[in-house]
Structure 1
């Protein structure tokens, strides 16, 4: 029964042109990105050539040694909470020097996919629109009564809708991953140079494919949280336009407002928007001071449970006509 409910929810969206427009946008931007990457690469090559002609070109070892001197000096002058990203870069540079690993300057399918990682924000946007309208649209269009007359509990209906949202996250991420991989492989080819991952105070060499999978998996947690917030708003307000409007407002301003508040108040680290950027923590960057991977995991789970409690309680207990 649950399988049929999920299938019905997916079919509803597969019949809408908006789903194919969203998918086409992801594929198109993945391909267009190749042009900008080639242009940027050409500009960097020209800059290096000009630097070499002026006799200013340094070897990669000398460049890293100079950078390390600057990093060590900056770390000494920085406050405790601002050192993590600097220490990460210093450790990676030292690992390269110790193991004679020259930083890659050319493009490959892996660097292209990493550079286009910002397109995951579009995935978040599309999923939020779908999640915000998943319940509210049923009330707006009056189709909710057709669901209620079925011999199925309200909680199962709501669960099927939420699982459908998760399925769309997987679909959009798959489209993005495959399209960037194909276009990047055709334009730049492959390179097996390992990616240096700084975790637990140590630098580890990871295959770029595994690193990108890990990064996408962590970023999907932020998408899931925004989708859950939009889903809850949809359940509470029951108005399609209002649910989408509030959800998009939180999507575009939530992190920015939290970052501004964190400049004056330490309690900003408890905001849900401060604890969804797991891929940034992987890179050693904190959206808000005092946030760690473990802390964000705990806060993420707390908000995840609370949002679902509100969603299910509202949908199950309230009168449909209300």
Structure 2
């Protein structure tokens, strides 16, 4: 418990570093503004269609914009380690009695917790503005669909945050950590579509081909033959462990003195 308490204090300190920065407030403000703007827009469309006709319908529509909290999470994860090198504070960080492994994973835990906060904020704001602009309505199966979308997308966020965290740790560059992780996310989707078109089967081992576990609810969306829920889960686990091994080696085994 004592060790856990020390680790908890490290995580708390890293979260304070994240939330004290003006950039974080701006990013979360942009997130809220986009949800608000979407509610305003759909309020005038709803009269002619059922899109966003109540709080639950609007929340479901917003679940198709979960790329927004993912991008915010990538920005934080891609910067959380490398910023210490940019600020020149890495020496002060490493003279603490905590081991490098604890310091590294306190930062990772903080990045994941920020992801949870941004995702939860997005969900709460979609409910709040949905209630204000569209009213309560009647909960039905769309509530389950909405929660399922969030659950599946959270897995994607965890994987992409882990990738961005590893890149940030290895490169020691905030711009590279953020930019490369976003580039790999979008180019991965594009590459999967190309490989699927030409029937190149090794594409099923790519991270991007396995990120969306929700694709198995609609079998016709599975990009490559031979893929299954178990297969994609195994591919994600292998990538997840690989990213952590790379980050751990880069931070604990290399000379990080500046």
Q: TM-score, normalised by structure 1?
A: 0.73
Displacement of 1:14 in angstroms is: 1.2
Residues 52, 130 of structure 2: 8 Å contact kept: no
Residues 230, 243 of structure 1: 8 Å contact kept: yes
- 1:240 paired with 2:170, answer no
CA distance, structure 2, for counterparts of residue 257 and residue 106 of structure 1: 33
Structure 2, unaligned runs of 5 or more: 1-5
For 2:3, the equivalent position in structure 1 comes to none
Residues 63, 146 of structure 2: 8 Å contact kept: no
SS of corresponding position for 2:169? helix
The CA RMSD over aligned residues, in Å, is 1.9
Residues 78, 164 of structure 2: 8 Å contact kept: yes
Residues 81, 172 of structure 2: 8 Å contact kept: yes
Tell me the alpha carbon deviations over residues 144-184 of structure 1, each in whole angstroms, 9 at most, x when there is no partner: 11111111111111110000011001100111011000111
For 2:80, the equivalent position in structure 1 comes to 134
CA distance, structure 2, for counterparts of residue 187 and residue 42 of structure 1: 12
CA distance, structure 2, for counterparts of residue 272 and residue 283 of structure 1: 19
SS of corresponding position for 1:190? coil
- 1:261 paired with 2:195, answer yes
For 1:110, the equivalent position in structure 2 comes to 56
Residues 158, 312 of structure 1: 8 Å contact kept: yes
For 1:28, the equivalent position in structure 2 comes to 33
- 1:6 paired with 2:4, answer no
- 1:192 paired with 2:138, answer yes
CA distance, structure 2, for counterparts of residue 218 and residue 243 of structure 1: 24
For 1:303, the equivalent position in structure 2 comes to 239
Tell me the alpha carbon deviations over residues 22-68 of structure 1, each in whole angstroms, 9 at most, x when there is no partner: 11112111111123223333344xxxxxxxxxxxxxxxxxxxxxxxx
How many residues are treated as equivalent by the alignment? 251
Cα 1:105–1:156 change in 2 (3 A) is: closer
Displacement of 1:289 in angstroms is: 2.6
Residues 42, 52 of structure 2: 8 Å contact kept: no
Displacement of 1:187 in angstroms is: 1.8
Cα 1:178–1:12 change in 2 (3 A) is: same
Q: Show structure 1 runs of 4+ deviating over 4 A.
A: none
CA distance, structure 2, for counterparts of residue 215 and residue 261 of structure 1: 26
Q: Aligned ranges for residues 114-193 of structure 1 at < 5 Å?
A: 114-192=60-138
Residues 234, 243 of structure 1: 8 Å contact kept: yes
SS of corresponding position for 1:42? coil
For 2:214, the equivalent position in structure 1 comes to 279
For 1:67, the equivalent position in structure 2 comes to none
For 1:49, the equivalent position in structure 2 comes to none
Which shifted more, 280-289 or 221-230?
Answer: 280-289
Cα 1:297–1:130 change in 2 (3 A) is: same
CA distance, structure 2, for counterparts of residue 22 and residue 148 of structure 1: 29
Residues 259, 287 of structure 1: 8 Å contact kept: no
For 1:313, the equivalent position in structure 2 comes to 249
SS of corresponding position for 2:97? coil
Q: Which of structures 1 and 2 has the bigger CA Rg?
A: 1
CA distance, structure 1, for counterparts of residue 35 and residue 176 of structure 2: 31
SS of corresponding position for 1:133? coil
Cα 1:105–1:118 change in 2 (3 A) is: closer
Residues 40, 133 of structure 2: 8 Å contact kept: no
Residues 26, 119 of structure 1: 8 Å contact kept: no
SS of corresponding position for 1:23? helix
